[in-house]
Amino acid sequence: MNDYPYISQIKSPEDVKGLPPEALSPLCEELRRFLVEKVTARGGHLASNLGAVELTVALHRVFSSPEDHVIFDVGHQSYVHKILTGRADRFDALRTPGGLSGFPRRAESAHDPFGTGHSSTSVSAALGFAEADALRKKDAYTVAVVGDGAFTGGMIHEALNNCRRDLRLVIVLNDNEMSISKNIGLFARYLSRIRISRKYRATKTRTRNFLSHIPLLGKGMTALLSKTKSAIKRRVYRDNYFEELGLIYLGPVDGHDVRALEKAFAEAKARECAVVVHVRTVKGKGYAVAENDPTAFHGVPSAPAENAQEGSPDTFHSVASQMLCALARRDEAICAVTAAMGEGTGLSAFGEKYPERYFDVGIAEEHALTFSAGLCAAGMKPYFAVYSTFLQRAYDNLLHDVALQGLPVRILVDRAGLAQADGATHHGIFDVAFASHIPNVRILTPACYGSLCAMLISSQNVNNCLLIRYPNSAEDERVHALFYPEEDFTEYGVRAVGLEGAEAVLIAYGNAVSAALDAMLLLGKSGVRVGMILLEALAPYAETAERVLPLLPVGAPVIFVEEGIRGGGAGMLLEAALRLQIKSPSDLSYTTLAIDGHFAEGEAGVPLPASCGIDAKAVASAVARALLAKETHGGRENREQNV
């Protein structure tokens, strides 16, 4: 930390308060250098944090964490907050299992009062803190730092609808005109009117200066002058959304001027009521490449090896996007829907080619799914691409608005499986379990690009809701070579290799396929013959069981591996379906390896799949235990027969 003299002496927000004003500019410069060094090395959210440097410094100069509660919406812009609250020395373990989380986390620090990771939750949580403090007669303040992109999500407005003016609540609208990509929609246009209204700001300043020079004429005159100023403001600019809700509005404020920010936050604090402070920031500020392309630097991977090839390989979502564009060229009913994740899901390419059939609805997964249902009911063929972790937010819409009505909405579930760096808030390990129990839902899980394309082709004519889920990675080329040697991907669903003479059988889907293949190699070196069944179709499980059952060698133990939760997961449901279809259910030796009873937060120094008990070594050990149990059970049966 020798290169960072200011950061090295900051152990708590009180140290930030103690800095003289002339130290703030060099501190902010240090913070930016620190972020660029650590985030480009470890990976993480860069542009959003660079844009929030002065804002966060000013917050900690005015408010007193943890007595005052600072809550970051999403939390991907909280790195500076972590540095200023004594966690700078942990950044070498940023976004690693057991290391420093890339999001606020209650278990990590008292300065993280509320864990976040998804958008638009902060004001609801902050409102809860503020109401609790009011009930307990505490004079603490609650501060919610909210990006303008979060205002495309309905929860923000639901919370504002319940916000009382007399609460000690400060909502900082961090306005950089972006989520990951450029914000769209009516609220984004509304904010742009506030930004560009120089006439309003100039008139406001002149009015304030004029009123301040009139001698004090008592409370009545002061109130009259305040009403006059408000009337002038409304005359020049019309009404303000936040003020119409009964909140005090301050701003816009230059988000890279620490002194202006301190002044605005101090004024908000002095009001002792609910205030919105509108702050204008530049995403990627101070790092030229990030300023010029904030979308590319929203999230950056860890530093690549020096000999890495230029260019990025295909991934499942890039292949899905390419195929969807090809299908849309021939079928004008195909539409693409995203919830502010056009870049992340690869759908932005579709938007460039077919803008009239591309719908970015903002950070509103619930709306996106019901909107897709409406498109579908009206005869279109919508494809909604969404991260698994964000699909959780639209469970009711999936059940009630799509499946119950038998509407064939196609859902492309991206980032399925463990999120190695983003952690528990972003794991895609629940979608199989919660979708499997909904009638009229089919779940497909392509393990290679060829089967993904085949699924998309056939998806054009489905009659019910279809989930096609895939990981945030490239395909494991071994899958293609082993399971589709003849390049015919149309017969996807259940594929098998090495079952003849197999002592045990592995069944896997998704990311777990690679772990199962690695386990086969480990076991093969030990002389154990293991076959494998690749599942690329899950629900309905009765249909899958019908295809799996004839493939199982008699007496061979079955080990099911999945990168998902055990309870209600594919392993559990397939076992139940198999036992219903076989004559002697007790003859089936079946073990499921899955994530059991925890949120997969990981352990320091342990690869995440290993800590979850679903890596290759865990699979090989499970096979060895099953074979030992079979041998022991067989020996006992022979002794019983002899008796």
What's the confidence (pLDDT) of residue 178?
58
Judge if 286 and 332 occupy the same domain.
no
Q: Is the pLDDT of residue 422 over 50?
A: yes
Q: Is the pLDDT of residue 643 over 70?
A: no
What's the confidence (pLDDT) of residue 639?
34
Look at the block and give the residue holding tokens 């004839």. 550
Q: Is the pLDDT of residue 47 over 80?
A: yes
558, two tokens: 């079955």
Residue 112 CB coordination number (10 Å)? 26
Judge if 449 and 513 occupy the same domain.
no
Q: Which helix (H) or strand (E) holds 480?
A: helix 477-483
DSSP 182: B
Judge if 547 and 427 occupy the same domain.
no
Q: Answer for the pair 291, 256: CB distance below 8 angstroms, yes or no.
A: no
Q: Is the pLDDT of residue 351 over 90?
A: yes
| Last residue within a domain, chosen from 243, 265, 298 | 298
Judge if 533 and 573 occupy the same domain.
yes
C-alpha closest to that of 546 among 554, 537, 556, 559: 537
| Last residue within a domain, chosen from 400, 434, 469 | 469
Length of the chain (residues): 643
280 three-state secondary structure: strand
Q: Is the pLDDT of residue 79 over 60?
A: yes
**Is 309 part of any domain?**
no
Judge if 321 and 294 occupy the same domain.
no
Determine the Cα–Cα distance for residues 564 and 512; give it in Å rounded to an integer: 9
Q: Answer for the pair 375, 347: CB distance below 8 angstroms, yes or no.
A: no
Domain membership of residue 460 as a residue range:
316-469
**Is 163 part of any domain?**
yes
What's the confidence (pLDDT) of residue 638?
47
Q: Answer for the pair 47, 77: CB distance below 8 angstroms, yes or no.
A: no
Judge if 392 and 259 occupy the same domain.
no
Domain count, the chain: 3
59, two tokens: 């917050």
Confidence category of residue 566, pLDDT binned at 50, 70, 90: very high
Judge if 199 and 56 occupy the same domain.
yes
**Is 80 part of any domain?**
no
**Is 554 part of any domain?**
yes
Q: Which of the residues 283, 285, 381, 442 is marked catalytic?
A: 283
- Per-residue pLDDT tens digits for 155-186: 999 999 999 999 999 999 999 875 555 555 56
pTM: 0.86
Judge if 170 and 54 occupy the same domain.
yes
Judge if 240 and 356 occupy the same domain.
no
Q: Answer for the pair 123, 160: CB distance below 8 angstroms, yes or no.
A: yes
Q: Is the pLDDT of residue 213 over 90?
A: no
Q: What's the mean pLDDT in 299-312? A: 49
The per-type count for the chain, helices as H runs and strands as E runs, is 28, 18
Q: Is the pLDDT of residue 362 over 50?
A: yes
Judge if 248 and 337 occupy the same domain.
no
Confidence category of residue 587, pLDDT binned at 50, 70, 90: confident
Q: Which helix (H) or strand (E) holds 146?
A: strand 142-147
**Is 17 part of any domain?**
no
Q: Is the pLDDT of residue 405 over 90?
A: yes
Q: Is 365 a catalytic residue?
A: yes
CATH of the domain at 517: 3.40.50.920
CATH of the domain at 370: 3.40.50.970
Amino acid at 227: K
**Is 323 part of any domain?**
yes
Confidence category of residue 302, pLDDT binned at 50, 70, 90: low
Q: Which helix (H) or strand (E) holds 270?
A: helix 258-271
Question: For a pLDDT cut of 70, what percent of the chain falls above it?
Answer: 86
Confidence category of residue 42, pLDDT binned at 50, 70, 90: confident
Look at the block and give the residue holding tokens 């972790």. 389
Q: Which of the residues 32, 393, 442, 495 is marked catalytic?
A: 393
Judge if 398 and 521 occupy the same domain.
no
Q: Tell me the pLDDT of the chain averaged across its residues.
A: 89
Q: Is 393 a catalytic residue?
A: yes
Residue 356 CB coordination number (10 Å)? 8
**Is 25 part of any domain?**
no
Q: Which of the residues 177, 262, 365, 563 is marked catalytic?
A: 365
**Is 36 part of any domain?**
no
Q: Answer for the pair 80, 31: CB distance below 8 angstroms, yes or no.
A: yes
- Per-residue pLDDT tens digits for 256-289: 999 999 999 999 999 999 999 999 999 888 888 8
Q: Answer for the pair 470, 446: CB distance below 8 angstroms, yes or no.
A: yes
Q: 96-105, 300-309, 311-320, 482-491: lowest mean pLDDT where? A: 300-309
Q: Is 33 a catalytic residue?
A: no
What's the confidence (pLDDT) of residue 205?
53
